A and B are shown apart, each in its own frame.
Chain A
Amino acid sequence: MKFTLKIWRQDGPQDPGGIRTYELDEVSEDMSFLEMLDVLNEQLIAGDEEPIVFDHDCREGICGSCDLMINGEAHGPEVTTTCQLHMRSFHDGETITVEPWRATAFPVIKDLMVDRSAFDRIIASGGFVSVNTGAAPDAHATPVPKENADRAFDVATCIGCGACVAACPNGSASLFLGAKITHLGELPQGQAERDSRVAGMVAQHDHEGFGGCTNIGECTSACPKGIPLDVISQLNKDLRTAIKHGH
C-alpha cells in the first residue's frame, strides 16, 4: 500500500508548528498504525531528518499512551486505540492527516506528543480510597452485589488516554471524571469519601482548563474502551449531593 501522510510537526511548546507532507510506499496492511510510523521514521532517519515524536508504549491497547488524531478522529476510524489500528482500515493511495490531541489542558510538548499530566492531578485530588497498606479487613468481610462489581469494572477499564477530551468540542474531561466517580461509587469501599472525592476532582478538572460538558456525546463514541455516557449523569448527581452536603 502507498500513502500520503500529512503530519503535524512542532519543535517544542513555543514553536507554532505546522503540517508536513510525506510519501510512504510499501506499507503492509498487517502493519499497525504505529508500525507504519516506525517505518516512516526509519525512512526519515536515513534521509537525515529528525524522526517524528509520538507517545506509545504497550502497543496492545491497555497502557493508554498512544494518542493520535487521525483524519480528525481521536484514535482514527475504528473504535480502538491508535496502536490497535491497522493499515487495512485505510485505502491504498489514501491521504492520512495525523495531529496531536486537541485540547487546551493537553499542551503540545513536541510533534504529536502532548502533556496529559492534568489527569494525574485530578486523580490525586480524590480519585482513590484512603486505606493505608496493612489496614484492610478480610476481602470477604463486605460482599458486593455482582451487578455493582460488574458495573464498577466496566467503567474502571478507562485507560486514561484522553481521547474523550480530544474528541469533545469543549475539551471537557467529564467522561474520564465520571468513569472514576462511578467506579468507586459503585463499591462499598468508596462510600466514605464519596462527597469529598467528587468535589475535589471536579475542582481540579476546572482548574486545569478542561471545559464543561454540554451532553454532545463525542467522548463516548471516541472512547476505545466504550465508557458509557451515563457516567456523566452519575458525576453530576454525585456533585449535586456533595454540594447539598456542604462541599
Chain B
Amino acid sequence: MTDTLKTSDPASPDDPQRHDDAAGYYVPGEPLTGREHAPDGPLEERWSKRVFEARIVNPANRRKVSVIVVGTGLAGGSAAATLGEAGYQVKSFCYQDSPRRAHSIAAQGGINGAKNYKGDGDSVQRLFYDTIKGGDYRSRESNVYRLAEVSASIIDQCVAQGVPFAREYGGLLDNRSFGGVQVSRTFYARGQTGQQLLIGAYQALERQVGAGTVEMFTRHEMLELVVVDGRARGIIARDMVTGEIETHLADTVVLASGGYGNVFFLSTNAMGCNVTATWRAHRKGAYMANPCYTQIHPTCIPVSGAHQSKLTLMSESLRNDGRIWVPKDAKDADKDPREIPEDDRDYYLERIYPAFGNLVPRDIASRQAKNMCDEGRGVGPEVDGVRRGVYLDFADAIERLGRKAVESKYGNLFDMYARITGEDPYEVPMRIYPAVHYVMGGLWVDYDLQASIPGLFVAGEANFSDHGANRLGASALMQGLADGYFVLPNTIRDYLADSPFDKITEDHPAVVEARQAVQARIDHFMTTKGTRSVDSYHRELGNIMWEYCGMERTEDGLKKAIDLIRTLKDDFWRNVKVLGSADTVNQSLEKAGRVADFLELGELMCIDALNRRESCGGHFRAESQTEDGEALRHDDQYAYVAAWEWAGEGQAPVLHKEDLVYEFTEMKQRSYK
C-alpha cells in the first residue's frame, strides 16, 4: 500500500483525465498479462518448476537447430558460449573487432551474489527484497526472485573459469558492501570486475569457436530483423569491412545488444553502443518497455568543452568521504575553490538532507547538482554558457584520515581524475557532474525472455526485465550473466523443442524485403549529400534529451522535446552528410544508421516519460513530488509496465499495460530526510 504522503501535485488522483498527459501522443492498446510461461505457486519454487517444465531438445537434434546471438557482452557472450556447449549451431555477432571489447568490460564495481559467505544474514530472499525495493516497486516479483536465486551459481561458474576475484589471506573470496545495502554480497576484482567477468565469458565463447559450435562474426552490425510468418527467423547484417549486406537465417534470434544510453550523445557508454538491433526489432513488432527509465550516475567527470565525446564515471564510493559543495554566491564560480572561505560555501546535500548528507541516493544527488548549476552556482569551465560541475572536496578527509589513508582508498580514482582533467584532486577539490549510465528500459520480454515476436529472445541490458525503475549497484553484471548462462539456455529450449521449423531460403519474400529495406536506407544516406555531419545531429539530439528527458522531466518540457526531435529528425533525413562509399569501412555511414534509430527512440522515451506522471526510481516528474521535493510514486495509477508497440512511420505508438501484481512484498514509499 502507498503511504499517504502529501503531494504537491494539485490534481486529484481520481481524475484520470487530468493525468493523461500523453493524450494524443499514443493509442491505448490491449493489456498484457506478463504471465506468459510464468509458473504459479510459491515464489521460491517457480524457477525450478519452469526449468523442469520447459521441454528439452534431443541432444542428437541440437546440431540441426540454429541460433543467432547478437552482441558479445556478458549476456550475449555467455549465452552464445552456453548454447554452443549444449550443441546448438550458433552464430555470434558483434560490431567491435573482437567479442572481448563489448562494453560490459568497463563495469568497475562488482557483482552481487547471494552466497552469504560473510554470514551476515544475506539470503536469496534478502537480495530479492533489496532488488525489488531498489527498483521502486516497478519490477516483476517472479523475475527478480529468479535473478537472486541464480546469482550464487554465477559466482561458482566464474571462479571455475579462472576469474581472479579478490581473495582474503585465507584463500577464500572477499566480499564488500555496495550501494548502501546492509550486507556484504558483492564479489569484485579490484575496480575491473566487468573486465574480468567478460574475459571469462569471452574465453568460454572462444573455446566454442575453437570447437566449431559457434561461428563468430566480428565487425558485423545487425541492421534488420527477419520475421517470417510472425516468427523471428534471422537478421540482415552489414560486414563493416567490405560493406557487404549479408543475410543470416536461423531457427531463433537472441538480442543481447546492450543499452541505449547513447541517445543522450554524452554518456558513460562506449562510443559504439547503440539501439539499432533492438529498435529494428521494435519496428518489426517487438514491444519496447519502460523506455524512459534511465539511470543517471552522480559522480562522473564533468564536460570540459564542446569537443567532449564521452563521459567517465568514477565509483560513487567517493561520496563516503568527499563533501559536495558549490559557492553560495554565483560570483565565486570561477574563483580558486581553496580561496573560498568556509562561510561562503554551500554544502547543499548536508544542508537539505541532514540525515543522509552526501550519501543520499543517486537520483537525489544528481538532481540537486543540476539544481545548483541551473541556479548559476555551478563550477568549472563554462560550456554553452553554463558551468556544469559541483565540488567534491576531500580536504576534510585528508586532514582527518591523512593523505596516505585517502590514497589507499581512492588512489586509482584520483589518478584517473588527474589524468583526464590535469588537476590534482589531493590539492584542488574534484569537480563532478551527473551522467547517463544505464537504462532499465528495453525490449519487453516474458518470463522466458521471449519478446512479443515469437522466436525473438532478449537478454541483458537490452531487455527491460528485472530491475524495475532503477537498478542496484553491482546488479547489472549479475543480470547479464544470469540471463546468458542460466535463464536463456533453459527457456529457449522450450521454444526450440517445436523445431524443425519450416525451411526458409534467402529468396523468401520477407527476407528479400528486409534486405531491400537495409539497402534502401544505406542508399539514402550515401546519396543525400547534405550539409551537416552525423555527429552534429547526434549531439543536438543528446542536448534535447538531456535537457528535457534527463534528470527532471515536466509535461511542458517533454512536449517541447517531442516537437524538437520531430523537426530534427526531418532535417536529418534531408540534410545529413555521409562521404565516401558504402563498400568499404565507413564510420559515418555506421553512425548515420544508429542516429536515425536514436531519433525515433528519443521520441518514444519522451512519450513514455510524458505518460508516466509519477516519479519512480530513475524517472522524476517535477509534477509528482512531495512537499520536500522527494520522488512520489502513484501506485494506484502507474504500477504497470508500459509496453509500446510500433504503429508505423509517423503513427502514434500503441500502449499496452502490464499490471504489476505484488503478492509477496508490500509497496512502500522511500524517505531520506
Contacts and interface: CB of A to CB of B under 8 A. Distances in A.
Contacts of A126: 210
A163 to B, nearest CB: 15
Contacts of B420: 32, 84, 86
B537 to A, nearest CB: 12
Interface string B82-115: 1001000000000011111111011000000001
Interface string A168-192: 0000000000000001101101100
Contact of A64 (B101, B160, B166, B196): B101
B307 A153 contact: no
Interface string A121-138: 001111111111111111
B171 interface: yes
A199 B566 CA distance: 59
A36 B153 CA distance: 45
B310 A45 contact: no
A144 B173 CA distance: 9
A133 B305 contact: no
A36 B307 CA distance: 8
A207 to B, nearest CB: 13
Given A129-B161, A153-B164, A55 B210 contact: no
Contact of A65 (B97, B166, B195, B533): B97
A233 B141 CA distance: 53
A30 B307 CA distance: 9
Interface core residue of B78, B96, B165, B419 (most chain A CB under 10 Å)? B419
Contact of A133 (B172, B199, B485): B485
B186 to A, nearest CB: 14
Contacts of A42: 533, 535-536
Contacts of B102: 63
B365 interface: no
Contact of A60 (B106, B210, B422): B106
A189 B584 CA distance: 43
Contacts of A64: 98, 100-101
B162 A183 contact: yes
Contacts of A59: 270-271, 309-310, 312
A109 B309 CA distance: 24
Contacts of A131: 157, 160-161, 204
A114 to B, nearest CB: 9
A58 B103 contact: yes
Interface in A35-53: 35-36, 38-39, 42, 45-46, 48-51, 53
A140 to B, nearest CB: 6
Interface residues of B, number: 80
Interface string B106-132: 100000000101000000000000000
B357 interface: no
Given A32-B309, A136-B156, A146 B580 contact: no
B92 to A, nearest CB: 11
Contacts of B216: 120
Nearest to B534: A45
Interface core residue of A48, A128, A130 (most chain B CB under 10 Å)? A128
Contact of A157 (B82, B195, B241, B536): B195
B7 interface: no
B170 interface: yes
Contact of A134 (B115, B153, B166): B153
Contact of B106 (A55, A62, A133): A62
Nearest to B78: A133
Interface in B263-286: 268, 270-272
A88 B420 CA distance: 10
A143 interface: yes
A117 B97 CA distance: 7
A29 interface: yes
Contacts of A86: 419-420, 422
Contact of A57 (B195, B270, B422, B577): B270
Given A58-B106, A63-B105, A128-B203, A51 B97 contact: no
Contacts of B192: 62, 157
Contacts of A136: 153, 156-157, 159-161
B486 interface: yes
A152 to B, nearest CB: 4
Contacts of A60: 106, 268, 310, 312
Contacts of A48: 579
B396 to A, nearest CB: 27
A195 B99 CA distance: 26
A28 B305 contact: yes
Given A152-B162, A187-B164, A139 B203 contact: no
A120 B209 contact: yes
Contact of A145 (B96, B171, B587): B171
23 contacts: A35-B309, A42-B535, A45-B588, A50-B580, A51-B579, A59-B271, A64-B98, A86-B422, A115-B97, A116-B97, A120-B99, A120-B206, A124-B209, A129-B162, A129-B203, A134-B157, A136-B156, A136-B159, A143-B167, A144-B171, A146-B171, A160-B101, A183-B162
